[in-house]
Chains A and B, each alone.
Chain A
Amino acid sequence: MTSPAPAKAHDAHAEHHELGFIRTYVFSTDHKMIGRQFLFMALFMMIIGGSLALMMRWELAWPEGSAGPNPNAGTQLMLKLFGDPASGDLPIPFTKWIPQPYMFDGHMPPEFYNAAFTMHATIMIFFVVMPILVGCFGNFLIPLMIGARDMAFPVLNMLSFWVGAVSGVIMLSSFLVPGGAAAGGWTAYAPLSAVSTYTGVTWGQHLWCISIIVLGISSLMGSINYITTIINMRAPGMTYFRMPLVVWSLFITAILLLLALPVLTAALAMLLLDRMAGTSFFLPAGGGEPLLWQHLFWFFGHPEVYIMILPAMGIGSEILPVFARKPIFGYRAMAFSMIGIAFLGWIVWGHHMFQSGMNPTLGTSFMISTMVIAVPSAIKTFNWLGTLWGGNIHFKVPMMFALGFVAMFVIGGLSGIFMASTPVDIFIHDTYFIVGHIHYVLFGGSIFALFGAIYYWFPKMFGRMTNPFLGHVHFWGTLIGFNGTFFPMHIIGVGGHMRRIYNPMQYEFLHPLQHWNVFMTLSALFLGLSQIRRTVTSARCCRPSTADRTSTARRRSKRTIYRRIASWRAARRPRTEDPRRDG
């Protein structure tokens, strides 16, 4: 605990005493500091992942030379602002400095476009959503909510963060090696990912594999820690069915991580051997099987989806009751539906592979299990509505994000039913419909909940309040920008627009859909601008709060003088108030 206790109390507790800067802020074993470290790492990565997404959106809306002939009003306005009306070219702004193999005259060549969407997905999934939901809030909340002093293995916890950070550095460094970063998609389907000549990427893909293997080690350390802590270190009286739902969700997530990640690690090791040692696990020329990669990847990949949405569900179940001023509706059903998801999550992976050449009979059984796994999510949604019913609802910023989470997650859940149906999936598989679906679940679901959680626990984490007005601006900007960016993806997907193509103008049947691409890009730019507010918040909280400073430093600080004045005033008044609320 780093509470602002008096100096004398510090002497009494050795572990609070004389922890230098390095032990406090860098190699900390305090679960709360590790949680914050995960948060900062992930917010930094989010800027990179988001920038890649904006570049891709720009390229899709205005591929080389297509802006001039496009009569769309938005296009013509952007052309006047950022482009060259004479040539009709609209290059991506602020990218002229990026050298040639990556960018070409302000446009992305297809090689870099492929690397961009691969890295966007990899970064957002492995280095943004997972570190914040599991790394940050798992660390921060579990001990506090179950009444433990810290995690079961504090040093392992520290290692988990630093191994994760090394993995992030490896991943980012892959942009700089010759050939550029991995360009085989975040799903890295073999043989495309298994042979360097197919993508032209050598070390980029090697480093991608190595980075995820290293990250897998970090996640394993974290998940073992969470499971052990939750099983063994609950305070007396904190039975399993009294645990807050967010702890339940993190518990189940940790179990899924523990069981799913080794599968991915093994698959990545095989892929790396195929790439570097000449084996042919996934190469048919040597007797290997390309579909084996897909089975292994999605056997990890589908539980992974729940790893990213379960904590978000837990956070929603935590925030909604607080601001509706009533208990969660159907606590046990909420816990059991998460357990149900955890079991069913293992038998649905084949629904990613209906068109892969997998036996169609197997497709039918995966379709039925996929239909069934939609039920627990439906139960949760109805229970959230039940929580709102009869409440006394306060529309504070965290509540707005939690409500946004429920509303957007419903769309993501319902759109999933389309692709569960095998015949419909024949058409929408590999189109933008899928991209829309995944973003409604991961952005509309996970990231809305994650923003809600940041606003909700921000005062607890950093000892200061956030500005409610700016919070509401951030919420509405995000909600509007998000729907403008991702809802039309369903429309163009049903129009047949394939994913992972960098120039839709190459296909005649996509020309009538191009105005949607322009609209989505403008919305995405608005969405990006709306995030500046969040970036400012995270920059502000980098300054250590008064709660974290040592007593000596605090005595010197100007803030303490204010606090002393406040406490002196408070002492003269009959009613006491928390001076920290003044800031």
Chain B
Amino acid sequence: MLSWWLPHNVSSYGGDVDYLFYLIFYITGVAWVLVQAAMLVFLFMYRHREGRRATYTHGNTTLEIMWTIVPALILVMLGFLSKSTWDAIRHTHPPSTTVVQITAKQFNWEVLYPGPDGKFETADDKMIENDLHVPVNEVVRVRLTSKDVIHSFFVPQFRLKQDAVPGRVIEVWFKATEPGVYELPCAELCGFGHSGMLGHVTVQTAEDYKAWVKDQWPS
């Protein structure tokens, strides 16, 4: 029921995002049906007929207070529900051993792996363009930055999007729950090559990931 529209979710927090999406979808859907139905009923019931006069009224204070307070309560409730999910995604940074640095540039993603020592700016750093390999079911931290203009790191299946801004390092995290290859498009207009700026995220099982690491750093 919760996955008939959005792309297949493979992220640990994607379920919470989808839950909010569908919650808002059903609330707004009901509001939409009620408003349009009321409008159509009124248009039919009160269509012009000879000899009938319109009801003379300037309003109804009780009714107006009602329809101010009810939407306000629903909206503020949605705000607070959203806040907890937002905090979990953006405020908490779960501990992780897998860290990569992604530098966006016109029109590629430079993925920098720290290598076996787990530290950046050492001899075993390795840069691979447009190819991010991560282990499944592990928290991965991505340090995002950009060389030129603003790009946006977007993996639809991870429910993750974050702008990469030149002059800043922004850290985001995800935990992929299913192995597979996922597309990594740029979501922020970045110039004439924006359309087609595309990388891939390969989520691998623990063994496959180990094998891949061994392949890359064969010492």
Contact = CB atoms under 8 A, between A and B. Distances in A.
Contacts of A356: 150, 163, 165
B1 interface: no
Contacts of A110: 192-196
B127 interface: no
B7 A291 contact: no
B104 to A, nearest CB: 12
A189 B35 CA distance: 37
Interface string A439-473: 00000000000000000000000000000000000
A192 B59 contact: no
A217 to B, nearest CB: 28
B156 to A, nearest CB: 4
Interface in B140-185: 148-150, 152, 154, 156, 159-163, 165-168, 170, 183, 185
A391 interface: yes
A551 interface: no
Interface in A389-441: 389-395, 403, 406-407, 410-411, 414-415, 417-418, 420-424, 426-427, 429-431
Contacts of B168: 284, 357
A240 interface: no
A507 B156 CA distance: 12
Given A388-B39, A388-B43, A424 B194 contact: no
A498 B187 contact: yes
Nearest to B164: A357
Contacts of A109: 192
A147 interface: no
26 contacts: A110-B195, A192-B149, A284-B167, A289-B167, A331-B59, A333-B64, A356-B165, A357-B163, A360-B91, A363-B90, A367-B79, A371-B76, A378-B71, A379-B64, A383-B64, A388-B42, A389-B42, A391-B46, A392-B46, A421-B24, A424-B82, A427-B161, A429-B187, A430-B187, A431-B187, A508-B183
A422 B148 contact: no
B45 to A, nearest CB: 9
A192 B191 contact: yes
Interface in B54-106: 54-60, 63-64, 67-68, 71-72, 75-76, 78-79, 82-83, 85-87, 89-91, 106
A501 interface: yes
A418 B183 CA distance: 24
Contacts of B60: 329-330, 386
Contact of B161 (A371, A403, A426): A426
Majority DSSP secondary structure for residues of B touching A? mixed
A421 B82 contact: yes
A509 B192 CA distance: 21
Contacts of B154: 430, 496, 498
A329 B83 contact: no
Contacts of B57: 326-327, 329, 390
The 4 closest A-B pairs by CB, nearest first: A284-B167, A390-B55, A496-B156, A330-B59
B216 interface: no
A126 to B, nearest CB: 19
A430 B188 contact: yes
Given A199-B191, A509-B183, A375 B59 contact: no
The listed residue with most B CB atoms (<10 A of its CB), out of A111, A368, A378, A424, is A424
B58 A189 contact: no
